[in-house]
Structures are given as C-alpha cells and as structure tokens.
Amino acid sequence: MIGIYTKSFLIVNNSGFTFTRVKDQMIQELLDMGIKDFRVLDALSQVSRHIFLDEALWSRAYENRSLTIGYKQTISQPYIVAKMTEHLISHTSKRGRVMNKILEIGSGCGYQSAVLSYFADEVCAVERVKPLVMKSRENLKELGIRNILIKHADGFEGWGESVKFDGIICAAAPREYPEELLELLEINGKLVIPVGLEGRQKLYVITKISETEHEEVIHEDVAFVPMLPGTSKGAI
C-alpha cells in the first residue's frame, strides 16, 4: 500500500527525555526490514511503547527487541507486532478500522492490542496472567484507548462467548494451532499464530475459506513464549 506514515508527536517524561527521535528511528528500521503497509507503520508510530514497560526500560522501549514485562512474559519486538498485524489486514486496502472484531490471545501488557485498536471497531483480548490484565487496562486507559476489552481467561478457550471475529492474533505459541480457534472466525477471517516448540517455531497464517475449509500458509521463524492452558494469579 502506498502512503505516508504520520510522524510521532513529542513525548516527554518527567526527566525531560523525548522519545520522538528514537520512535522515528524504529519506524525507519521497520521499513528497512520489509514492513510495507503504511497503515501498520502509522499505527506503530502512534502507540507509545514505553507506556507498556517499567520506567527502568524506557531507554530501550523503541529498540527492535522483545523486553520483559514480568511474570515470565515479554512484550513482542516491534517487527513481530508489525508483521503479524500486516498479515492480519493484508486482504484489506482501506485506511482506518477495516474489521468489526479482532481477538487477541496472550495480550500481555496490551501493546499489540493497542496497535490492533486502529484496525477494528472492537478488540477482545485474553490474558491468562491476572496482574498483566490489570496492568494492561491501566496502560490503555492512560493512552485513552477505549475500544479494547480485556478478559482474564484461558486462551485455549477463546473469548468464551458465541462471538465471531474477523481476525485472531495469538501472541503465544502452542505446539499445534487449536482448530477450535478457526470456529471463532468469520468466513475469510484470518488466524495469525506462532506454532511449534521453543527454538522451532514458525508463524502460521490461516484463512477460513468456508465452515469446512481453510488455507494455511507458513511464514518465517519466530520465537514466542509457550501457550499454556489455564489461568495464573501471577507468580513472578
């Protein structure tokens, strides 16, 4: 898609440090790495990644790497967030909210959810670690993002209601993708999910063709935390 991403606005923390330059460097790096959809780049330029991290990590917030968010979980590197989002919306061309509902499984601190909020009327996010649910709600409230619902639940059970989604992103890796998630998709909806054991994971993009057919495409190597069943109260 041809376009121009919006330059990030000036962000200043209490010490006077500004994030504008490092954020713009991150966007340029994503361009250089092959992220082509300017809608995705624009969304990442608008979301303040440092808000989702402890202040001790703010100086590294716009580096293209995953960082700890506690509870043995990480915030995904910006390239992976951009790439998964790009896969999810690749069959659309309009700007703005091109989907009705998106489901995110393993929402962590809420960063990927915040990016997805630019592309759907409603984002439903599931996180198994209770303190991260609470923290992500605080993060999103601070940014004024209001079209995201976050639930403390088992990701293998999806949203747990009879709701269909135009797209699903999973930010944790099961050994095999749960076919039950395909049942939650609208026709032509996509599931973007890392699959495999640690050190041998691939990114899958699965499109639901009909109620009985789907198309599966395997993309690049990735590294995600494992997708675990059940819920956690958040032992560090």
Of 45, 66, 76, 117, the catalytic one is 76
How distant, in Å, are the alpha carbons of 66, 108, 112 from that of 57? 11, 16, 18
User: Do 172 and 229 meet the contact criterion of CB atoms below 8 Å apart?
Assistant: no
- Positive or negative CA dihedral for 118, 85, 37, 91? negative
Q: What whole-number distance in Å separates Cα of residue 219 and Cα of residue 4?
A: 27
Handedness of CA 152, 157, 163, 168 (dihedral sign): positive
Provide CB contacts within 8 A for 235, sequence distance 6+: 71
Residue in the structure block whose two tokens are 């079209």: 147
Give me the sheet containing 99-105, strands edge to edge: 148-152, 120-127, 99-105, 165-170, 185-195, 201-208, 214-222
DSSP letter at 157 equals G
Instruction: Please say if 76 is a catalytic residue.
Output: yes
Element (H, E) at 132: helix 130-143
Sign of CA dihedral 6, 10, 13, 16: positive
Catalytic residues: 76
